[in-house]
């Protein structure tokens, strides 16, 4: 037994977390007709690997792995700390349930979903484990390519047009980011995030690099007003793809912003810049909610809701910047995770409705709660999280963000945070209310059981996340150099 | 953890688990649904009884799980919480029996009883919340679980009422959340049993503390229906009668009033609230609510709407009682939490019986209805006289102590408010009794239910008769051990102990 646990502790899980999904992608590509259940099994295997890495990080602290034995600054370093592991876990949980859902969803047609999806998963894992800015760039590009490919799977013209728009926007974002990387490399000669953080000195070049990289990433994260590509892409993709895009892909680029702002750029970031991001984030909350309120279609509503909810994430920087506690930082990450689970559930449920009802026009969904009880129930539970009401993780996250806003005397942000919740209730009850309207007695609709269960499970996870905040925060604190260093930089 | 620490959690789960189970049942599983409902309700009453016994003899019931590093979810049975939770548990039992009969044969009963149980779970959570954080969690949950009940009928009017309800209560919840976070940021977690930590902040943050107090009251005042935040309550009377009972007596408005009591007693503390000078404005607000809503009640022909305005008015007695500082007025206010619940639920049960049996909804249609439904109207009469404050009924005890408190605190204007309100209570309730008992029926009744030996279904008749007897009993036997009055006296003695 001891031998086994010692063996588990020694495996370089950090590498397998990237290699395994890529291998699954390759296998799915050469054998496209294999039973789709293999996809779910592969998803479980990847999750097991992530669990192994989590255990390592939890017990031994942050893990660094020099690929090919070279190590930074010459070689490529993979790096896993609490934050990376939490993001990997989020990806794994959503990955498993999306895979389960996709089995039935794509059952009736041959599809490149599986290879692209595992390729995307591998790229996401690579991003969360990258320790240097160039590696981050490469993973970002891989993510974009896989994601755009997945959007086109819907097959109709609107989806292809949306995918093309998405591709152009994302490539522009990558380009800006790459420019920033070049500037940094020219000035400091290193790419490693931690080394950059140590070497960083204020100056025009550093500021320009920070601005370019942030702008590129904001484009990829669909921060208002750069969100124009998101609603069509997310609303027109197949449901499992929408779920992955809204839950994970936009979080990936946000994760890079978070890493850079807290670890590489603390020396050059001004509080005005952070305030500027918060203003854009607030505008996103208001504008996204407004658009969601008037969206005629269910998936479009959910997509605009993503625009709004992403706005919350960009409030973190101004709330964490002058503070001494990482409350806002932790709250932001918790918010991202809760949103990921709830939004994935929402898109999966919307996909089920669209699949069996043949449309997703909100005005024609009267009585849907009785025709599709489990699916609708998942949607209602996910809505509670999106409104930020207890006991969801989003409620705890909002509590933390509010606490930071009060502590920093940013009353206007407190108002925005609360107003965002009320606006979310405004657009989400448009859907929920439909369930209570009388409808002509129509027969119940049937959705494959796996599709129902996947959506419900994710909604339940999002809702109960509030009870698991404490261990999650402990994990985030592991090797929290991001917080520790950052506080040092600011207070010294 | 010992068994004692699980009891408060079990009290919440005794309705939560049946509720979730009921959601999964199909419409036809009537027997199992009823068994689940009644088992949950009886188990809750038993658990609450156990906790009352234990707390009286000094036992501790506390359940605690960490949510954030310094912030726990705490369920704790204290005397004040038990006052509220025993009211809710007992009334829930009777409301459940009533609702089973009331909704017999109507569609979507699984959904209804599922949310009904969630609603009561949230109320128990509110009552047993051991700190402000836990209170906020359950307060928001109550909003969500009540909405489906308000819109249950699915008519355009019901959906509109649901929208109004959400607008008010979600906004109120947001304000309460802001105030709670602000307070937490200043003084850390606000535990309800640890004496008062807010007072330790001293004078330099008086302005901030006053602002937070105002926000707390605004957030809670929505559910407590303080004027001008009462707009949702008369609209929500569109819901079925058992839901009105839940809104007006068991859960929602009580949760708001109870929250205000908590804020004044356990968050700010009576002495500090008085020092801060926030209690007088609160008393004035309550007085305005009492008078204004009574005036509005006078002009409502729709019986349930008249009763709704009466609730707005009567719930503010509780607020008035805690805002006028002094032991007697506190006793009067807190005991009214229970007394108003008993009387108002009786009135709504009776109104529901008339609507369900004879299709009567307007006061102007009620000529001679007491001849057709003597028992219902007898219960109605008892509750109405109680509301007016006729001795020895429940309402008399409340008003007596409120008046006594006003004299002790030398605030004679409160007496004037009480007198005005009593006159108006009489003015909007006595005509109903007069019409029902002393006028000739205007024609044959529209019988909606097959009439048997009783005037209506036994399960519709029994709950109002029991609650009417209770509202007589708590007045008549106010001095007996474990009567609401004695229990409240116990709480108040502890609160005013030096």
Contact B159 A436 (CB under 8 A): yes
Query: Contact A126/A91 with Cβ under 8 angstroms?
Result: no
Query: Which chain A residues contact residue B126 at CB under 8 A?
Result: none
Can you give the pLDDT at residue A482?
42
Q: What is the pLDDT of residue A484?
A: 39
What band does A323 get if pLDDT is binned at 50, 70 and 90?
very low
* Average pLDDT value for residue range A356-370: 85
In 3-state terms, what secondary structure has residue B131?
strand
Residue A481: the pLDDT is 42
Rounded average pLDDT over A24-48: 84
Measured distance CA(B66)–CA(A473) in Å, rounded: 12
Encoded tokens for B491: 């709480």
Cβ-Cβ contacts under 8 Å, B148 against chain A = 436
Let me know the angle formed at the C-alpha of A172 by A169 and A174, rounded to the nearest 5 degrees: 110
Q: Residue A339, exposed/middle/buried by CB under 10 A (0-12, 13-18, 19+)?
A: buried
Q: Which of B67, B137, B182 sits opposite A469 (nearest CB)?
A: B67
Q: Beta-strand (E) ranges in A32-115?
A: 63-66, 77-80
For residues B227 and A481, the model is more confident at B227
Burial of A2: CB neighbours in 10 Å, binned 0-12, 13-18, 19+: exposed
User: Which residues of chain A does B162 touch, with a Cβ-Cβ cutoff of 8 Å?
Assistant: 433, 436
Q: Which residue of B lies nearest to A397 if distances are taken between CA atoms?
A: B68
- What ipTM was reported for this prediction? 0.91
HSE (side-chain half, CA atoms, 13 Å) at A389: 25
Distance from CA of A403 to the nearest CA of B (A): 6
Rounded to whole angstroms, the Cα distance separating A221 from A258 reads 12
Whether residue A488 lies within 8 A of chain B, CB to CB, comes out as no
Contact B122, B484 (CB under 8 A): no
Residue range A59-77, pLDDT digits in tens: 888 888 887 776 666 667 8
Q: Is the pLDDT of residue A35 over 60?
A: yes
> Which one of A396, A406, A418 has the shortest CB-CB distance to B67?
A396
B177 to A402: CB separation less than 8 angstroms, yes or no: yes
B193 with B76: CB under 8 angstroms?
yes
Contact residues for B111 (Cβ-Cβ < 8 A; gap 6+): B23, B148, B152
Q: Which residues of B touch A (CB under 8 A)?
A: 23, 65-69, 108, 133, 136-138, 140-141, 144, 148, 151-152, 154-155, 158-159, 162-163, 166, 170-171, 173-175, 177-178, 181-182, 184-185
Confidence category of residue A275, pLDDT binned at 50, 70, 90: very high
**Average pLDDT rounded to a whole number, residues A340-346:** 96
CA atoms within 13 A on the CB side of A386: 39
Q: What are the distances in angstroms from CA B51 to CA A198, B25, B245, B381?
A: 59, 31, 25, 34
Cα A161 to Cα A159: distance, rounded to the nearest angstrom: 5
Alpha carbon B55 to its chain centroid, in Å, reads: 22
Alpha-carbon distances, residue B82 vs B8, B43, B55, B125 (angstroms): 10, 15, 9, 11
Question: How far is Cα B367 from Cα A128, in angstroms, rounded to an integer?
Answer: 76
Residues B270/B196, Cβ–Cβ less than 8 Å: no
pTM across the whole model = 0.93
Overall average pLDDT of the A238-249 stretch: 95
Q: B4: exposed, middle or buried (C-beta count within 10 Å: 0-12, 13-18, 19+)?
A: middle
Q: Which comes out higher in pLDDT, residue A436 or B195? A: A436
Q: Which residues of B touch A469 (CB under 8 A)?
A: 67-68
Low-confidence ranges of chain B (pLDDT < 70): 1, 194-196, 202-203, 449-452, 498
Looking at CA atoms only, how far is residue B68 from chain A in angstroms? 5
Residues of chain A with Cβ-Cβ distance to B151 below 8 Å are 433, 436
pLDDT of residue A441: 62
What are the pLDDT digits (tens) for B387-396?
999 888 999 9
Best of A371, A399, A424 to disrupt the B interface (most B CBs within 10 Å) is A399
What DSSP letter does each residue of A88-103 carry, written as one string? Answer: HHHHHHHHHHHHHHHH
């Amino acid at each position: 037994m001891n031998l086994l646990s010692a063996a588990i502790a020694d495996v370089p899980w950090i590498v397998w977390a990237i290699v395994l999904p890529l291998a699954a992608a390759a296998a799915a590509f050469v054998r496209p007709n294999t039973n789709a259940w293999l996809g779910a099994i592969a998803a479980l295997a990847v999750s097991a690997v992530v669990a192994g890495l989590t255990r390592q990080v939890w017990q031994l602290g942050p893990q660094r792995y020099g690929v090919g034995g070279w190590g930074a600054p010459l070689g490529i370093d993979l790096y896993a700390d609490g934050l990376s592991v939490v993001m990997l876990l989020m990806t794994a949980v959503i990955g498993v349930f999306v895979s389960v859902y996709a089995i039935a969803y794509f059952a009736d047609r041959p599809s490149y979903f599986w290879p692209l999806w595992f390729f995307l998963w591998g790229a996401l894992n690579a991003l969360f484990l990258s320790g240097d800015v160039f590696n981050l760039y490469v993973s970002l590009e891989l993510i974009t390519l896989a994601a755009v490919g997945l959007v086109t799977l819907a097959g109709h013209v609107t989806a292809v047009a949306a995918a093309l728009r998405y591709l152009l926007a994302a490539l522009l974002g990558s380009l800006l980011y790459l420019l920033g990387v070049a500037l940094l490399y020219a000035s400091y000669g290193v790419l490693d995030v931690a080394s950059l953080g140590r070497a960083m000195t204020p100056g025009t070049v550093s500021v320009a690099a920070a601005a370019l990289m942030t702008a590129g990433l904001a484009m990829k994260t669909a921060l208002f007003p750069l969100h124009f590509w998101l609603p069509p892409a997310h609303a027109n993709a197949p449901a499992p793809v929408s779920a992955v895009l809204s839950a994970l892909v936009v979080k990936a680029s946000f994760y890079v912003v978070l890493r850079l702002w807290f670890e590489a750029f603390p020396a050059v970031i001004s509080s005005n810049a952070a305030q500027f991001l918060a203003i854009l984030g607030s505008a996103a909350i208001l504008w996204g909610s407004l658009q969601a309120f008037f969206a005629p279609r269910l998936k479009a509503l959910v997509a605009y809701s993503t625009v709004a909810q992403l706005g919350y994430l960009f409030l973190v920087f101004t709330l964490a910047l002058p503070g001494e506690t990482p409350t806002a930082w932790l709250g932001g990450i918790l918010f991202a995770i809760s949103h990921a689970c709830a939004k994935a559930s929402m898109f999966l449920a919307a996909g089920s409705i669209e699949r069996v009802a043949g449309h997703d026009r909100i005005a024609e969904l009267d009585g849907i709660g009785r025709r599709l009880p489990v699916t609708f129930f998942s949607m209602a539970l996910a809505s509670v999280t999106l409104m930020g009401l207890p006991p969801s993780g989003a409620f705890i996250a909002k509590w933390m963000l509010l606490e930071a806003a009060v502590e920093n005397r940013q009353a206007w942000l407190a108002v925005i945070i609360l107003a965002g919740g009320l606006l979310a209730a405004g657009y989400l009850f448009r859907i929920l209310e439909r369930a209570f309207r009388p409808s002509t007695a129509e027969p119940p609709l049937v959705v494959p059981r796996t599709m129902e269960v996947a959506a419900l499970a994710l909604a339940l996870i999002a809702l109960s996340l509030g009870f698991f905040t404490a261990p999650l925060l402990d994990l985030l604190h592991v090797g929290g150099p991001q917080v520790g260093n950052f506080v040092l930089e600011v207070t010294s | 953890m010992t068994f004692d620490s699980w009891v408060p959690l079990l009290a919440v789960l005794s309705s939560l688990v049946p509720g979730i189970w009921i959601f999964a049942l199909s419409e036809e599983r009537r027997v199992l649904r009823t068994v689940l409902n009644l088992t949950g309700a009886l188990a809750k009453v038993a658990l609450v009884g156990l906790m009352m016994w234990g707390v009286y003899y000094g036992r501790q019931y506390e359940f605690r799980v960490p949510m954030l590093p310094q912030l726990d979810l705490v369920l704790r049975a204290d005397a004040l919480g038990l006052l509220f939770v025993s009211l809710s548990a007992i009334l829930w039992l009777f409301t459940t029996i009533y609702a089973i009969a009331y909704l017999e044969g109507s569609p979507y009963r699984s959904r209804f009883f599922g949310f009904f149980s969630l609603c009561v779970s949230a109320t128990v959570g509110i009552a047993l919340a051991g700190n402000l954080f836990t209170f906020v969690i359950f307060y928001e949950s109550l909003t969500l679980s009540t909405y489906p009940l308000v819109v249950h009928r699915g008519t355009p009017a019901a959906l509109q009422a649901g929208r109004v309800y959400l607008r008010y209560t979600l906004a109120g919840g947001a304000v309460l959340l802001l105030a709670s976070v602000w307070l937490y940021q200043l003084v850390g977690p606000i535990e309800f049993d640890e004496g008062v930590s807010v007072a330790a902040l001293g004078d330099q943050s008086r302005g901030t503390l006053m602002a937070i107090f105002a926000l707390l009251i605004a957030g809670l005042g929505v559910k407590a229906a303080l004027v001008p935040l009462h707009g949702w309550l008369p609209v929500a009377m569109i819901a079925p009668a058992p839901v009105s009972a839940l809104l007006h007596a068991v859960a929602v408005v009580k949760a708001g009033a109870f929250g205000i009591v908590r804020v004044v007693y356990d968050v700010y503390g009576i002495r500090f609230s008085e020092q801060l000078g926030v209690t007088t404005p609160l008393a004035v607000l309550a007085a305005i609510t009492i008078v204004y809503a009574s005036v509005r009640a006078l002009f409502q022909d729709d019986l349930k709407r008249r009763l709704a305005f009466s609730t707005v008015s009567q719930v503010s007695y509780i607020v008035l009682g805690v805002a006028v500082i002094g032991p007697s007025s506190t006793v009067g206010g807190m005991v009214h939490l229970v007394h108003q619940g008993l009387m108002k639920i009786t009135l709504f049960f009776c109104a529901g019986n008339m609507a369900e049996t004879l299709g009567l909804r307007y006061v102007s249609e009620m000529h001679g209805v007491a001849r057709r439904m003597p028992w219902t109207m007898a219960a109605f009469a008892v509750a109405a006289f109680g509301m007016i404050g006729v001795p020895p009924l429940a309402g008399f005890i409340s008003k007596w102590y409120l008046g006594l408190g006003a004299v002790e605190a030398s605030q004679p204007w409160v007496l004037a408010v009480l007198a005005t309100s009593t006159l108006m209570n009489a003015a909007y309730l006595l005509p109903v009794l007069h019409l029902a008992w002393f006028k000739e029926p205007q024609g044959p009744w529209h019988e909606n239910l097959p009439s048997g030996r009783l005037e209506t279904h036994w399960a519709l008749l029994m709950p109002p008769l029991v609650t009417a007897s209770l509202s007589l009993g708590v007045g008549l036997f106010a001095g007996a051990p474990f009567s609401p009055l004695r229990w409240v006296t116990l709480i108040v003695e502890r609160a005013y102990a030096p």
